[in-house]
Chains A and B, each alone.
Chain A
């Protein structure tokens, strides 16, 4: 089973700060997902990546396959970025199963 570790568990930042959330996994994968969960519970997919780097607005996701590590960066953070950020990776050789990290709770203060 692929273990997924996220760090930090909790992160508090001031508006405007640059934020990094890390995700490490234990075995080879075909894809890694970054998800955002707001207090109401709904989840939104931010990125799916298998190599390199992707950017969407103020969000950047990178993955290093050799080091089994991914980072999610938020530039110029804003209070509306406050949410739980979840990393998930493909698991058990299945194209349909994901193993999820426990999430990183981000709070951005004005």
Chain B
């Protein structure tokens, strides 16, 4: 079955360490997204990629980095520059843009930084 796989489900890190969250899809989708979810807030876009080897900053890109070297993979690195990294991170993909195709989500990674 096609889908999006995020790993790990839970991640714990010490402050000051960089950490990379994995996102893999086998849906053959061109577009991929990273969102952050905090309690009481709507999802916020960190980065998105329209096609392989291309990515764009979202609304809250500071302190994060991404790469899109393969169509299937869109890893997110949370750097030590991110001031409040503890959050629930969701990866998504769509055939085309979210303006004309539905989103498919992974199950998320809950990151705790202490």
Contacts and interface: CB of A to CB of B under 8 A. Distances in A.
Asked if A and B bind, the verdict is yes
Interface of A: 4, 30-31, 33, 35, 40-45, 48, 86, 88, 90, 94-103
Interface of B: 31, 33, 40-45, 48, 50, 56, 58-59, 88, 90, 92, 96-108, 110
Nearest to B96: A95
Contacts, number: 73
Contacts of A103: 42
Contacts of A101: 42
Given A31-B98, A48-B101, A96-B31, A86 B108 contact: no
Contacts of B50: 96
A33 B56 contact: no
Contacts of A88: 42-43, 98
